Every structure is written in C-alpha cells, then in structure tokens.
Amino acid sequence: MYIYGRWIVIPLIGAFIGWVTNVLAIRLLFRPHRPFQFLFWTFQGLIPKRRAEIAANVARVVDKDLLPLGEVLEHLRTPALEEKITELVVEVARRRLTERLPSFIPAGLKEAASKTIEETLRREIPPALEELEGELTSSISSFSLGDLVAEKINKLDLHQVENLIVEVAGRELRYIELLGGVLGFFIGLVQAFVAGR
C-alpha cells in the first residue's frame, strides 16, 4: 500500500508545489504594488518597480520596429488619400470662387475661371503634398509615437497595467501555471522512483 501511495502522493505533492510556485511567481510580477519593507529587504512587484523602464523599452520598440514615423507617413501618403485631398481642395476653391465673385460677372466667365483654377489645383496639389510631406517629416523628426505610448503607460494606474497585461497574456499565464503543475508532477515521479530504490 505504501509503495502505491508513494507513486501517487509524491507526484501529486510535486504537481501542487509546482503549480503554487508558478502562481506565486506570476502574482509577484504585479504585487505588491507599493514597496514593502520587511527587516532588511524591500519587496515590490517587478512590473511596478520597473514600470518606467518597461514603458521606455516599449517606446523604443514602437519607434524603432513597430511604427517608425517615416513608415507611418509613407502609409498616410496613398493615391486614394491624395485624390481625396485634391477633390476636397478643388471643391472648396470652386465654392469660394462662386460665392466671392460679384453677380455682374457673366456665368460663362465664372465657369472659365472655375475650370482654370480647378486644372491648376489638380496639377499643383500632388507636388505640393509631396513637398509638405518632406517639410513635415523634417519638422517633426523629434516627434515620437513611442513617447506617447510610454507616457500613457506611465499614467495608467497599477491595477490597470496589471489588468492590461492579464488581458493580453492571460491564457499564456494560465499555461505557465499549469506547466508548473505538470513539471512538478514529473519531478515527483522521479522522486518516487529514487525513494523506491
């Protein structure tokens, strides 16, 4: 009876210890939120303690790898968007011209002026947008999407940061907890085998 119990009890205890250890390790990533002094040691969750550093690293990754400003501007400059901007400018110019020209000017002359302005705008807007993009790129070279992300992360309450991470990686964190139990179970089997020799 003892021999069979050893093959069940020791692996189950190992599984429980492995699972509890991983659950505690994951919880200690987030807690305690505020530094806690115990004798000579100060305890604080890894994420709350290194929050600013994590936010800075996320900002660097966003700027360098995920959303470099040049690529963002490149994606914004599409033929469809360029066409939409051109149509908007032409429509506004046409409307303003007809509103501002005095009523004694013949309709044919108004139409000719409107056509000339429209043709000029359609010809000049694409190069002007390209020039504007170049100026915009050079003038906002110090702008950083990553800094905005870092600022947002640093402004979040620690409970919100924890909820955000758990929401994004909740399933993976549960797998880590279960994996601790599985590994503990197999370690328990090895211990039962060694104890039986």
Residue 124 scores a pLDDT above 60: yes
List pLDDT tens digits, range 17-49: 999 999 999 988 888 888 888 888 888 888 888
- Residue 120 near residue 36 (C-beta atoms within 8 A): no
- In the beta sheet, which residues pair with residue 43? 36
pLDDT-derived band of residue 118, with 50, 70 and 90 as boundaries?
Answer: confident
Mean pLDDT of 97-104: 77
The answer to whether residue 36 is domain-embedded is no
The answer to whether residue 126 is domain-embedded is yes
pLDDT-derived band of residue 178, with 50, 70 and 90 as boundaries?
Answer: very high
Residue 4 scores a pLDDT above 70: no
Q: What percent of the chain has pLDDT over 90?
A: 14
Closest listed residue to residue 193, CA positions, set 19, 12, 11:
11
* pTM score of the predicted model: 0.57
The pair of structure tokens assigned to 174 is 């549960």
The answer to whether residue 17 is domain-embedded is yes
Q: What pLDDT is attached to residue 65?
A: 82
The answer to whether residue 41 is domain-embedded is no
The answer to whether residue 34 is domain-embedded is no
Q: How many domains are contained in the chain?
A: 1
Tell me which of 173 and 143 has the higher pLDDT.
173
Q: What pLDDT is attached to residue 99?
A: 78
Mean pLDDT of 1-29: 84
Q: What pLDDT is attached to residue 181?
A: 93
The answer to whether residue 38 is domain-embedded is no
Backbone angles phi, psi at 37, to 5 degrees: -95, 130
The 3-state DSSP composition of the chain as helix, strand, coil percent (nearest 5) reads 80, 5, 15
The answer to whether residue 33 is domain-embedded is no
List pLDDT tens digits, range 126-170: 888 777 777 766 666 677 788 888 888 888 888 888 888 888 888
| Domain extent for 179 | 2-27+46-196
Q: How far apart are the first and last CA of the chain?
A: 16
The answer to whether residue 140 is domain-embedded is yes
